[in-house]
Amino acid sequence: MSRISVRGFAVASATAVTTVGAVVGVASGSEPGSVANTEAAAADTTIADIPMGQQAQVETASLVQQADDQSTQADAAALKTAQEAARKAAAESAQAKKDAAERQLAAEKQAAKERAEAKEQAASRSAERGALGDIATKASYTVAETQAMARQMMPADQFQCFSNIVDHESGWNYKAVNASSGAYGLVQALPGSKMASAGSDWQTNPATQIKWGLGYMNDRYGSPCGAWSFWQANSWY
């Protein structure tokens, strides 16, 4: 009959080791009852060396121990997997909450900015209407009235530069027309219809012409004083 080594059964349980030791202890010369000696003896002992009646007990004990070990390993692996999944889910949840909070904060900041800008624009329009309300409805305007409008519509430190340009371009005549080019108004817009972007009454309202001229100087030269510096160097702007 074939001889199957006991080493292949992983005799790890005390019961299995004791059982094998009881059988092979005497043959190996080891001290009875010693687990270490029993294991050493079992390592060199085969199933055939164990009495037939006890072979099944040894095999069963070994297989039970293997099953227990495998079950323990499987439980540990499952626990590790569950813990990693829980950590990942927690991290994803935290990141999602952080992203949502950042989006909410950005939306609130943008809304606050838009409200502030709308409030500022409304205040500016209101101030302009209040400052020019009395003279905006007149049929004609004197130079003094037109200059008063200009002072009200721009920073004080920019008025003189603006005034210098208007003095040269139109002499503060809001109906001035350049016979050769067709340029029109206080700031001699060319063509004059450009000023329609500031108001449909651009031909008759100096406030509309001032508004357009101020915007043009700010956009192109940064300020009326910037426009005046250019005009001094080139005699046009």
CA–CA distance, 134 with 19 (Å, rounded to integer): 117
My answer on whether omega of the bond before 155 falls inside 30° of 0, hence cis, is no
In a domain, 138, yes or no: no
Last residue of a domain, one of 47, 71, 95: 71
Rounded to an integer, what distance in angstroms lies between the CA atom of residue 97 and that of residue 122?
37
Residue at 76 is within a domain:
no
More confident residue, 204 or 50: 204
Count of the separate structural domains present in the chain:
2
Distance between CA 69 and CA 85 in Å, rounded?
A: 24
Select from 39, 71, 103 the last residue of a domain. Answer: 71
Half-sphere exposure of 23 (CA within 13 A, CB side): 23
Last residue of a domain, one of 26, 49, 71: 71
Domain that holds residue 173: 143-234
Bridge partners of residue 128, in order along the sequence:
none
Note the pLDDT of residue 61. Answer: 78
> 147-164: per-residue pLDDT in tens?
999 999 999 999 999 999
150: in domain: yes
Please, what is the average pLDDT of the chain? 79
Task: Answer whether residue 99 is part of any domain.
Answer: no
Does some domain include residue 173? Answer: yes
Average of per-residue pLDDT across 113-125: 73
- Predicted pLDDT at 18: 47
- Report yes or no on 123 lying in a domain: no
Backbone angles phi, psi at 180, to 5 degrees: -90, -35
Over range 162-172, report the average pLDDT.
97
In a domain, 29, yes or no: yes
88 in any annotated domain: no
Q: Which residues of 209-236 are buried (b: 16+ CB within 10 A; e: fewer)?
A: bbbbbbebbeeebebbbbbbebbeeeee
Which residue's entry shows tokens 């139109």?
Answer: 170
